[in-house]
Amino acid sequence: MSTELEQKLDTLTDADYARGLEVFRGGLKEAEASYLNACVRCGLCAGGCHYHRTEPELENVPGRKLDHIASVFKAHFTTMGRLAPGLVGAKRFDRDMARAWVDAVFGRCTLCGRCSMNCTIGIPLPALFRAARRALGAMGLVPEDLQATVENSLQHGNNMAIEREEWVETVEWMEEELQADTGDPEARIPLDKQGARCLFTVNPREAKFFPLSLQASAKVFWAAGEDWTLASDGGWDLTNYALFTCEDDQAAAIVKNLTDAMTRLGCQVLVIGECGHGYQSARWMGPEWLKQRFPFPVVSILELMDGYLNEGRIHVDSARNQEPVTLHDPCNLVRHGGISEPQRRVLRRAVANLVEMAPHGVENYCCGGGGGQLAMSRYRNRRLAAGKKKADQIRATGAKVVAAPCHNCIDQLSELNKEYQLKVQIKTVAELVAAALIVPTHSEVLP
Amino acid sequence: MSGLMFHGQAVALNEEGFLVDPGIWNEELALALAQAEEGLEALTEEHWSVIRFIRGHFEEKQGAPMVRAVCKATGLRLQRIYELFPSGPAKGACKLAGLPKPDGCV
């Protein structure tokens, strides 16, 4: 039991519960509300949930998690729930139910959506869990470390509170490394290049602690002769943790950093680096949050690399990646985001032996790090236990390298690697492509 | 919350093994954390140069430094940092330096 949570529950007033209910109901579309009375308790969702697959207890059944939410909905928003609560399983929103909601939607769910694939009714469980998270947020019940990550983005323009000069210095450092790696003194990592075709965005984790993936992406752009840039001041961070707190006004403010940078720099294509929730946020949720159609395409760097290979703009030698590679499917990129084949086409060319997990693609299992879990320390043990499903899948492939086109997943997979002694290397797709590049001579790079 | 036995006393760690109270950190405790959390039996001068720089940065500015700053201050190559701290700069080095867990995808 979390003391932070209990202390917060102690302070809740009737007005807080009322506000939570109001936000919950207000955030539900009518179709979503109808789904709150649709579960037939078939139990098939359980097989899709990595929490339940690793720990088969009732509270880990997605339908049970939904039941906590539906029972409150019935009590407060349906006639039968008010008249005969016992008959329809309606429960008032009180301290116990608030605790049950927090436990269900923050503590046992990564919003991965795998349960919905199994659902006989087609209930969009992640949308309903998101509505519950949004309500809990209005009551101040979002775990503090998750909320802190959102606050960083709102105050500093990136989720790790990196200062502009620190970011610029790291980019310049990676440019020097790129020049040393390619032997091309003209190789650039452009900053604020006005009118560049592509605005590239990264996860602050790369800048702060793991910049080699930035260097790898830059090397691919260099080889392709791409006209690209990074933004120095706001609009370089692709993350949006408000996707996980489900506070849509904050999410809109964060995604606006990207659209503002596109306008400021006059770029044509917004390119999202290897990040699942960042892609989902910019590509699909962003226009919803900002209530506007973006006047530019949003693409994943995976799509760009796929295009470069198809068009012959870059060439790779798969012999340079000899060890067996398996591919992790980030839920926000693949199941929610619709990007499944580009990374597979890229890897089939860039590595000698790609071994798929079973299942994979849209039917993948979550690594366990999604939905903001990595930022919520209090659920760490559950997160690692639930990740065993993914660890077992990886082990079964016999792969020595896991390609993971998502920095959030990479962090979870790194912990699983240690916890379950997988003895694998975890890399971005761009790192594998960069390693396999048949490097053009300098004169061939120039347009 | 878990604990680490240190000189017969339980030191409070959060669920991820970071010190609950960064203020109680000292170098002996760093070594105990290295053994308990990072699987490192001993810390070399290279480890200490990283840990001391991160700790100094934290005491001055309240946050974790960029890995760029770590490399510059210690003269170590990036790859060497990853070798020294198997859990990485955040969950390895920052943890041993007694920092709270950095925000973000770490």
Domain range summary for chain A, segments of one domain joined by + = 3-141, 152-305, 310-436
Q: Which of A42, A53, A189, A47 is nearest to A120 (CA)?
A: A42
Note the Cα A283 to chain centre separation in Å.
12
Q: Provide the token pair at A151.
A: 């606050």
Asked whether the beta carbons of residue A208 and residue B64 sit closer than 8 angstroms, the reply is: yes
pLDDT at A297: 98
A433 within 8 A of A223, measured Cβ to Cβ? no
For residue A295, cis peptide bond before it (omega within 30 degrees of 0): no
Q: Touching check for A375 and chain B: CB below 8 Å? A: yes
Compute how many other C-beta atoms are within 10 angstroms of the C-beta atom of residue A182.
19
Q: Let me know: does A411 contact A426? Beta carbons within 8 Å.
A: no
Taking the CA of residue B42 and the nearest CA in chain A, the distance in Å comes to: 19
Among candidates B15, B67, B90 on the partner chain, residue whose Cβ is nearest the Cβ of A377: B15
Give the closest residue to A308 by CA, choosing from A274, A272, A349, A366.
A349
CB contact A326 to B (< 8 Å): no
- Using a pLDDT cut of 90, give the percent of chain A over it: 97
Residues of chain B with C-beta less than 8 angstroms from the C-beta of A212: 78
What CA–CA distance (Å, rounded) separates A177 from A217? 13
- Report the mean per-residue pLDDT for chain A: 96
Residue type for A104, please?
A: A
A440, A223 contact by CB (below 8 A): yes
Nearest to A330 by CA among A255, A269, A382, A273: A273
- Give the model's pLDDT for residue A351: 98
- Asked if B13 is an interface residue toward chain A (Cβ–Cβ < 8 A), one would say no
State how far the Cα of A38 lies from the Cα of A392, in Å rounded to an integer.
Answer: 33
- Active-site annotation of B, residues: 105
**How is residue A316 annotated by DSSP?**
B
> Are domains A3-141 and A152-305 of this chain identical in fold?
no
pLDDT at A238 over 70: yes
Write down the pLDDT at residue A59: 98
When pLDDT is averaged across residues A243-256 and rounded to a whole number, the result is 98
Is residue B85 a contact partner of residue A414, using CB atoms and an 8 Å limit? Answer: no
Residue in B15, B91, B103 nearest the CB of A160: B103
Predicted local confidence at residue A441, as pLDDT: 64
CA distance A212 to A429: 12
Q: For the domain covering A310-436, report its CATH number.
A: 3.40.50
User: Which residues of chain A lie closer than 8 angstroms to B67, CB-CB?
Assistant: 208-211
Residues in chain B where the model's pLDDT stays below 70: 1
In this predicted model, what pLDDT tens digit does every residue of A66-81 receive, in sequence order?
999 999 999 999 999 9
> How near does any CA of chain B get to the CA of A122, in Å?
31
What residue in A sits closest to B65 (Cα-Cα)? A208
A212 — pLDDT class (breaks 50, 70, 90): very high
Among residues A399, A410, A395, A388, which one has the least CA distance to residue A330? Answer: A410
Place of tokens 């339940």: A52
Q: Hey, is the C-beta of B78 within 8 angstroms of any chain A C-beta?
A: yes
Residue A289 · residue A253 · CB < 8 Å: no
Residue A447 has pLDDT above 70, yes or no: no
Tell which CATH classification among 3.60.15, 1.20.120, 3.90.1690, 3.40.50 matches the domain A152-305.
3.40.50
- If one looks up domain A3-141 in CATH, what number appears? 1.10.1060
Measured between alpha carbons, how far is residue A447 from residues A188, A224, B69 in Å?
A: 15, 10, 36
Look up residue A14 and give its two tokens.
């009737």
Rounded distance between C-alpha atoms, residue A190 and residue A175, angstroms: 9
Determine which of A42-46, A266-270, B8-12, B83-87 has the lowest per-residue pLDDT on average. B8-12
Give SS3 for B96.
helix
CA atoms of A248 and A267, how far apart (whole Å) = 26
Q: Can you spell out the DSSP letters for A333-394?
A: TTTTT---HHHHHHHHHHSS-B---SS-GGGPPP-S-TTTGGG-GGGHHHHHHHTHHHHHHH
Give the residue among A393, A399, A403, A396 at the shortest CA–CA distance from A427: A403
pLDDT in tens, A170-188: 999 999 999 999 999 999 9
**pLDDT at site A144:** 95
What are the beta bridge partners of residue A198?
A228, A269
Confidence of residue A202 (pLDDT cuts 50, 70, 90): very high
Whole-number pLDDT of residue A443: 52
Please determine, for residue A420, whether its predicted confidence score (pLDDT) is greater than 80: yes
DSSP category for residue A236: -
Tokens of A176: 């020097």
Question: What are the residues whose beta carbons fall under 8 Å from the beta carbon of A246, sequence distance 6 or more?
Answer: A27, A130, A131, A133, A134, A137
Q: Does B7 touch chain A (CB under 8 A)?
A: no
- A274 is written with which tokens? 């290897």
The shortest C-alpha distance from A243 to chain B (Å) reads: 13
pLDDT at A442 over 70: no
What is the residue type of A203?
N
Confidence grade of residue A400 (pLDDT, cut at 50, 70, 90): very high
C-alpha R_g of chain B: 13
Q: Which residues on A lie below 8 Å from B88 (Cβ)? A: 209-210, 414
**Tell me, what amino acid is at A316?**
V
The whole-angstrom distance between B23's CA and the closest CA on chain A is: 19
**Residue A312: DSSP 8-state:** T
Write the pLDDT tens digit of every residue in A294-349: 999 999 999 999 999 999 999 999 999 999 999 999 999 999 999 999 999 999 99
**A–B CB contacts, 8 A cutoff, strictly below:** 77
Contacts B73 to A, Cβ<8 Å: none
